Amino acid sequence: MSLFQLLNGLTFAALLFVVASGFTLIFGLLRIVNLAHGALYLFGGYIGYTVAIRTGSFVLGGVGAMASIAAIGLVLDQGLLRFVRGNELRQVLLSLGAAFFLNDLALVIWGGDSFTVPIPQMLRGGMKVFGTFYPTYRLFVLVSGVVVFAALWLLLNYTRLGALIRAGVDDAEMVEASGVNIQRIFLITFLLGSALAGLGGLIGGAFLSLYPSADAEILVFSLAVVIIGGRGSLVGVGVGSLLVGLLNTLGQVMFPELAYFVIFGPMAVLLAFRPLGLFGRAT
Amino acid sequence: MTTPFSPNPSRLAGMTGRAAIVACLVVVVAACLPLLLSNYQVGLATEVLIFGILAMSVDILAGFAGRTSLGHGAIFGVSTYVVVYCTAQIALPPAVAFTLGVLAATAIASVFALLAVRTSGVYFLLLTLALGMIIWGICLRWTQVTGGENGMRGDVRPAMLLSHSAFYWAVLAGAAVVSFLMWRFVRSPFGLTLRGIRDSESRMRSLGYNVPLHLFIGFTVSGFFAAIAGALYAMFNNFVSPSTVALAQSVEGVLMMIVGGVGTLFGAFVGAAAIIALENVVSAYTERWQMVLGITFVLIMIFAPEGIIGKLRAILSRKVR
């Protein structure tokens, strides 16, 4: 694998990290497998695209995507998932229904054409990395992945909210019993996770482009990341994203038509030995 | 959820006399439908039967082993793909193509099963979903073989089954046999073991049952039935595209199963009829079927997770009391 392909794999892994970290936060703390996460990604991308086109600002696009997806997350959580609390299976299937709805709604609003979020002027073109010419924007994606990882790491390990989230992942009832309003922590986590999906949509929309089935594709990758990494673990998502990102790139180079299949191998091996993922813990 | 299992000495192939009569009556009434309905409606009825088989195969796992699969649409679709491919690209006779399709999809199901038996609950759902999506991704991208997004047109139906009613009768016969087999399967000692696993995995394990092996076989058998539905669908539609293996297919199967009632087995046909009828009514007014499907799913999850039939039964019994 050449450096170019390695970088491709790493940048894809960075995007996966942004999307899947939101997924695993929600999964780990609320025990909700939010299958609408892919649809939130796509919506975030479309909204970010629209805002970025209207205002001409990539940053505003990002803010708009995150804010509006957090708002959709709020409706999803408080308006729908609230009614099926405590029943994992019903939650999953409900979120799946929501995913279908959102996907079709996106098709109504933005149509079936594919869009690419405009890249800001300063990130266009390329630069030399260890003697290889590489698109600047994709390096930016790599950096954003690392920044999001660092920010989440700091949030989870050095703030009160983070401590509560970690405690909630381990035992939500105990946290509640010690006088913390866990429902509020749940809600904040859900909004944060959704916002990350929106951010991922904007970032990904600028180099993978946005089209009606992009949500399903990113969802499969996120699922693979979480299945490999284990739920609720930030390090797990990081390692899972790297594995899936690199393997996917390797697969695309070696078997372009069967690239999907290549992420299936490690998932299978892993499940045989660690059904809960590399960093997952039984509860 | 469980139907009481009462031993009865006077049985016909394990069926009580009354159940056998009811089953025969249902089949006879169903067989008379083409005499009353238009060609289009007979087509819809055929579709109901095919998707009823798919939903029943999902119910074997969901209702009797406690594991909801979101990968059965993919197994169904693999069978469809293989049948269409074999007849259209390498010109095999329909019967051979049918067999190959069922075998191939059953093989895929056993691979799914090998991986999935290690998981339960939400992880099972996630894994089957991911596996199904991988199949979908391959069907979409492997353009040389699958025709990519354009799909493939086949020449699947044998000449004697070309008319709507003839094909309907053939599918009805198939569905009757398959339903009987599934019914026998879930009532067999093996099926009872699956129910035991559903209710308490640890207890079954400590009783000495090989839980993973039972789940593996259960999943493969369930996949086999989904494969039959898929092969029938190939004959019905004469066309296959990635949407046949898409998540929506699995979701429709699960939805039909839930609407008909989890663990009722034959309720699957009622669920299939309800969903297909809804799809047709909706499609007459709007192209937004997927949106309606999503909303239906959300509403059923909130208001009637035990299925429409279960809900009606609950409402009725409340009224009676």
Tens digits of residue pLDDT in A19-28: 999 998 888 8
- pTM comes to 0.84
Residue A259 predicted with pLDDT over 50: yes
Query: What 3-state class would DSSP assign to A48?
Result: helix
Single-letter code of the amino acid located at B71:
G
- Predicted confidence band at A92 (pLDDT cuts at 50, 70, 90)? confident
Residue A171 predicted with pLDDT over 90: no
To test the contact with chain B by mutation, choose from A16, A33, A37, A89 the residue with the greatest count of B C-beta atoms within 10 A, namely A89
The pLDDT assigned to A49 comes to 92
Mean pLDDT of B306-318: 73
Please give the structure tokens belonging to residue B54.
Answer: 């798919």
Share of chain A above pLDDT 70, in %: 96
- Predicted confidence band at B54 (pLDDT cuts at 50, 70, 90)? very high
Mean pLDDT of B110-118: 88
The pLDDT assigned to A223 comes to 85
Mean pLDDT of B291-311: 82
Q: Is B133's CB within 8 Å of A87's CB? A: no
Closest residue on chain A to B305 (Cα): A90
Nearest to A117 by CA among A192, A169, A48: A48
The pLDDT assigned to B1 comes to 41
The pLDDT assigned to B306 comes to 73
Write phi, then psi, for A210 (nearest 5 degrees). Answer: -115, 130
Single-letter code of the amino acid located at B33:
L
pLDDT in tens, A267-277: 777 776 777 77
Distance CA A242, CA A41 (A): 19
B-chain residues within 8 Å CB-CB of A99? 294
Residue A111 predicted with pLDDT over 90: no
Share of chain B above pLDDT 70, in %: 94
Share of chain A above pLDDT 90, in %: 35
Q: Which residue's structure tokens are 């309003």?
A: A181
Mean pLDDT of B55-69: 91
> Angle at which helices A234-254 and A214-229 pack, to 10 degrees?
120
The pLDDT assigned to A1 comes to 62
Q: How far is CA A246 from CA A1, A174, A279, in A?
A: 10, 39, 19
Residues 6+ apart with CB under 8 A from B2: B195, B263
pLDDT in tens, A130-168: 777 888 888 999 999 999 999 999 998 899 988 888 888
B141 vs A: CB within 8 A: yes
Q: Is B123's CB within 8 Å of A227's CB? A: yes
- Predicted confidence band at B4 (pLDDT cuts at 50, 70, 90)? very low
Q: Is B251's CB within 8 Å of A100's CB? A: yes
A-chain residues within 8 Å CB-CB of B115? 267-268, 271-272
Q: What is the mean pLDDT of chain A?
A: 86
Which one has a higher pLDDT value, B222 or B245? B222
pLDDT in tens, B193-218: 999 998 888 899 899 999 989 999 99
The pLDDT assigned to B15 comes to 66
The pLDDT assigned to B17 comes to 76
Q: Is A96's CB within 8 Å of B118's CB? A: no
The pLDDT assigned to B12 comes to 52
Q: Which residue's structure tokens are 């590489």?
A: A134
Pick from A55-64, B15-24, B118-127, B304-313 the range whose average pLDDT is largest: A55-64
Distance CA B23, CA A159 (A): 65
| Pair type for strands A132-135 and B152-153 | unpaired
Q: Is B122's CB within 8 Å of A88's CB? A: yes
B131 vs A: CB within 8 A: yes
Q: Which alpha helices (DSSP H) does chain B contain, by range? A: 17-36, 39-64, 72-88, 94-116, 121-141, 143-146, 164-187, 189-199, 201-206, 211-237, 242-245, 247-260, 267-285, 289-303, 308-320
The pLDDT assigned to A127 comes to 80
- Predicted confidence band at B11 (pLDDT cuts at 50, 70, 90)? low
A-chain residues within 8 Å CB-CB of B123? 227, 275-276
Residue B106 predicted with pLDDT over 90: yes
DSSP state of A117: P
Mean pLDDT of B228-239: 91
Q: What is the mean pLDDT of chain B?
A: 85
Mean pLDDT of B266-285: 89
Which one has a higher pLDDT value, B113 or B308? B113
Residue B94 predicted with pLDDT over 50: yes
Q: How far is CA B114 from CA B15, B108, B194, B216, B218, in A?
A: 33, 10, 16, 6, 11
B133 vs A: CB within 8 A: yes
